[in-house]
Amino acid sequence: MERRFTYNKKKATEANKLKFYVNMRIVHVDFGTGTVVAVYDNDIRVRFDSSERGSKRILKNTKKIMTVEEAYKKMHLRKTTV
């Protein structure tokens, strides 16, 4: 059975920007809402929302939820110290 996706083009492009974030594995992408859940260090999950409204919502089995800016700062610091 074929699976079809309907999505908002603007929100999908917001989600596609995440490909430029390093050390991150994308776990789930919801093209309908433009929400992306990514994980790095195997324990920190980050929820990216194109509107930043849902970025602080707590997910199941997660230790910390960060916004795009917080995650970027953390990764940038880690990248420069290595």
For the purposes of burial, counting CB atoms within 10 Å of the CB of 46, is it exposed (0-12), middle (13-18) or buried (19 or more)? buried
**Each residue of 18-77: pLDDT tens digit?**
544 445 566 666 655 556 666 655 555 666 555 544 444 434 444 455 566 666 666 555
Give the domain ranges of the chain: 23-81
Put simply, whether the predicted model's pTM sits higher than 0.85 gets the answer: no
Question: What's the rounded Cα separation, in Å, for the pair 70 and 46?
Answer: 9
